[in-house]
Chain A
């Protein structure tokens, strides 16, 4: 038993896939690597499992270097994205297969298989063949097969990504309940950020070459280290707006103006103040171009009553915002005029895409509301939720 440690791991074919990757998964930790498909997540697992040879670097389990060992000597169990069940064997035999290789007494195997199957609620299906069960059940079988092996490290490759949303939901809950996975080091890879946020003790976000940010779920989502991380997490994707920072007056106030927006929509543009909390980090940049990240969940569409209140409170808010950099209205928050481009009421939220002075902004709304193409709406932003990224490197400028 012990921690899983990866040191300076490199692997490439015609092009580098992993470049000097370092990370540690503590004993009992559930570590999730999340990243777009094709970025090298599966390669990482295959390197640790011993199915691929690294070009450089080491893999250690509990301090023991296993880099040179063949897969069957590593005491590592892996589930495959394609489940990799043996089609000619029953569910029972599939689950039992890692134990068969170890010459364990028949009765003991039977007990262990039934226990694992009961835990994953597939005990009714033990006599069936993989061809006769659903995708979710196949996934559970593959997982049970991994669990009975009782390895020192679990490697899980997109175990639930290809299932229906509702089975994904159910299996996510099941992962929360599996004590066995919290006994040793578990490395779980997925492209679905929701799985990562839900399950992980810690998350590593993978970009080209390696991990670009490692941290707890809330850190990763609320304080992304780079624009890449911010864009990969969240649905609908984060709004990215190119803008210019301006110092206003001598009181240290800063506001930003969206680039290219001023000319459009009758010269109104999209200009908003920077929150007090961010001012210190941004004020020394002077006049600079930055990329703003605005989560759709923090763009709210005002109801009729509220927009009326906002109007009576401050006249034409956008113009005020542009002029004095305060732009406070309707509860002290900046309000912007926009035109509805597209609106879809989905399940628990509605998604609205609106044109705010030439800048398309996505907002999430109450799904029971209705909006029509071309309708004028008022959007409210919360300056303290805006993220600021370097226009070139994409690095977070505030955190």
Chain B
């Protein structure tokens, strides 16, 4: 090795290290990380599994959406191509458009209410409660409903809301807020009942997201605001909420995506009834496909829901990207 200009005190002269690279060259066993089959195997296996459980069924669904498949024909193998007929049938049916209306109601009063409520709870918890252990206890209590399986939640709320002897009606009567029993499961109320149960069940998710977003905001910014003399309301409006905008948007997107696959509480609490008054599109797809085995019609429902949610999610993501870019993050 070439000696080079530049001084070295004597203590470093003795400090030449052993040449590890020589040792590496001697080794004959191939390095596990470097071997070219390792990445292929590691990525390949999950891809195969994914193909089996995602790609194949999806292709199958798209295929049957354009056939006239039902249970009998599926067994006999004599289905035939019908073009857009299934889509036409769905899109012209009153049942579908009613369910879309229900979905809108659920999105506005379910998902939005959850996120708004979550934001209020999360910020109150962070700003008002000063002791760490109190915060932890409150968080645990608020998160508990999320831990329960939806079927249990459905059954629980079905009991609570039973018109004649349910705890909710009893409490409201006792407090004098109502004069007679509310019929929670009649045609006008059943969807509201589901929304109430869902808010109870899932508000904790956006709450956790928004709370952790608030925790990670830089404290120095708040100190700067204190020194500047900004009031609590001004800080909330001009600093906290703008900084949490993306986090709240993400919480909303998650709840929004969940809305499109929301089946369980509907199934357990009302089964879409009475008179299909609490049906959501997904529930109809489930009902038609799994229970009545109208494979093609269910596939058409699924594709319409998929297309609709894909458009909305794309718009959301585009908005999010714009916001992040404006802040110089992405």
A26 to B15, CA, bound (A): 22
A26 (CB) vs chain B CBs: closest residue: B2
Q: Which residues, 183 to 238 on A, are CB-close (under 8 Å) to B?
A: 183-184, 199, 201
A388 to B3, CA, bound (A): 38
Q: How far is the CB of A108 from chain B (nearest CB, A)?
A: 7
Could you say which interface size class chain A belongs to?
35 or more
Does A73 lie at the interface of the complex (its beta carbon under 8 Å from any beta carbon of B)?
yes
Q: Do the beta carbons of A119 and B12 come within 8 Å of each other?
A: yes
Q: Do the beta carbons of B15 and A179 come within 8 Å of each other?
A: yes
Q: Which of B4, B18, B21, B33 contacts A29 (CB 8 A)?
A: B4
Residues A108 and B18 in contact in the complex (CB < 8 Å), given A102-B24, A177-B12 = yes
Residues A180 and B16 in contact in the complex (CB < 8 Å), given A28-B3, A29-B4 = yes
Q: Do the beta carbons of A115 and B4 come within 8 Å of each other?
A: no
Q: Which of B4, B8, B24, B33 contacts A177 (CB 8 A)?
A: B8
Q: B18-44 vs A: 1/0 string, CB under 8 Å?
A: 111101100100000110000000000
Q: Do the beta carbons of B21 and A182 come within 8 Å of each other?
A: no
Residues A102 and B23 in contact in the complex (CB < 8 Å), given A115-B15, A201-B6 = yes
B24 (CB) vs chain A CBs: closest residue: A102
Residues A177 and B11 in contact in the complex (CB < 8 Å), given A29-B4, A182-B6, A201-B6 = yes
Q: Do the beta carbons of A176 and B6 come within 8 Å of each other?
A: yes
Does A59 lie at the interface of the complex (its beta carbon under 8 Å from any beta carbon of B)?
no
Q: Do the beta carbons of A150 and B21 come within 8 Å of each other?
A: yes
Q: Do the beta carbons of A151 and B17 come within 8 Å of each other?
A: no
Q: Do the beta carbons of B15 and A182 come within 8 Å of each other?
A: no
Does B328 lie at the interface of the complex (its beta carbon under 8 Å from any beta carbon of A)?
no
A93 to B319, CA, bound (A): 44
Does B9 lie at the interface of the complex (its beta carbon under 8 Å from any beta carbon of A)?
yes
Does B175 lie at the interface of the complex (its beta carbon under 8 Å from any beta carbon of A)?
no
Q: Which of B4, B20, B23 contacts A149 (CB 8 A)?
A: B20
Q: Do the beta carbons of A178 and B18 come within 8 Å of each other?
A: no
Does A84 lie at the interface of the complex (its beta carbon under 8 Å from any beta carbon of B)?
no
A118 to B11, CA, bound (A): 10
- Hey, which chain A residues are within 8 Å of B33, CB to CB? 72, 101
Residues A179 and B23 in contact in the complex (CB < 8 Å), given A28-B3, A72-B34 = no
Q: Which of A28, A102, A116, A152 contacts B17 (CB 8 A)?
A: A116
A151 to B19, CA, bound (A): 9
Q: Do the beta carbons of B23 and A28 come within 8 Å of each other?
A: no
B20 (CB) vs chain A CBs: closest residue: A150
Q: Do the beta carbons of A150 and B2 come within 8 Å of each other?
A: no
Q: Which of B1, B5, B9, B11 contacts A183 (CB 8 A)?
A: B1
Q: Which of B2, B20, B24 contacts A27 (CB 8 A)?
A: B2
Residues A179 and B12 in contact in the complex (CB < 8 Å), given A102-B23, A115-B17, A149-B20 = yes
Could you say which interface size class chain B belongs to?
20 to 34
A148 to B18, CA, bound (A): 9
Residues A178 and B20 in contact in the complex (CB < 8 Å), given A1-B1, A115-B15 = no
Does A30 lie at the interface of the complex (its beta carbon under 8 Å from any beta carbon of B)?
yes
Q: Which of B8, B13, B23 contacts A176 (CB 8 A)?
A: B8
Q: Which of A28, A75, A119, A177 contacts B1 (CB 8 A)?
A: A28
Does B218 lie at the interface of the complex (its beta carbon under 8 Å from any beta carbon of A)?
no
A200 (CB) vs chain B CBs: closest residue: B6
A29 to B15, CA, bound (A): 19
Q: Which of B7, B11, B23, B33 has the most CB of A within 10 A?
A: B23
Q: How far is the CB of B5 from chain A (nearest CB, A)?
A: 6
Q: How far is the CB of B38 from chain A (nearest CB, A)?
A: 13
Q: Do the beta carbons of A177 and B9 come within 8 Å of each other?
A: yes
A75 (CB) vs chain B CBs: closest residue: B21
- Hey, which chain A residues are within 8 Å of B18, CB to CB? 108, 112, 150
- Hey, which chain B residues are within 8 Å of A201, CB to CB? 4-6
Q: Do the beta carbons of A179 and B5 come within 8 Å of each other?
A: no
Q: Do the beta carbons of A30 and B4 come within 8 Å of each other?
A: yes
Q: How far is the CB of B319 from chain A (nearest CB, A)?
A: 22
A118 to B5, CA, bound (A): 24
- Hey, which chain A residues are within 8 Å of B7, CB to CB? 176-177
A1 (CB) vs chain B CBs: closest residue: B1
Does A99 lie at the interface of the complex (its beta carbon under 8 Å from any beta carbon of B)?
yes
Does A147 lie at the interface of the complex (its beta carbon under 8 Å from any beta carbon of B)?
yes
Q: A131-163 vs B: 1/0 string, CB under 8 Å?
A: 000000000000000011111100000000000
19 A-B residue contacts at CB 8 Å?
A1-B1, A28-B1, A72-B34, A102-B23, A102-B24, A116-B15, A119-B11, A148-B17, A148-B20, A150-B20, A176-B6, A177-B7, A177-B11, A179-B12, A179-B16, A182-B8, A183-B16, A184-B1, A199-B6
* Interface positions of A (Cβ within 8 A of B): 1, 26-30, 72-73, 75, 99, 101-104, 108, 112, 115-116, 118-119, 147-152, 176-180, 182-184, 199, 201
* Interface positions of B (Cβ within 8 A of A): 1-9, 11-13, 15-21, 23-24, 27, 33-34
Ordered nearest first, which 7 A-B pairs have the shortest CB separation?
A28-B2, A28-B4, A177-B12, A182-B4, A119-B15, A177-B9, A150-B20
**Inter-chain pairs besides A177-B7, A182-B8, 18 sampled, C-beta below 8 Å:** A27-B1, A28-B2, A29-B4, A30-B4, A72-B33, A72-B34, A99-B20, A102-B24, A104-B20, A108-B18, A119-B11, A148-B17, A149-B20, A150-B20, A176-B7, A179-B12, A180-B16, A201-B5
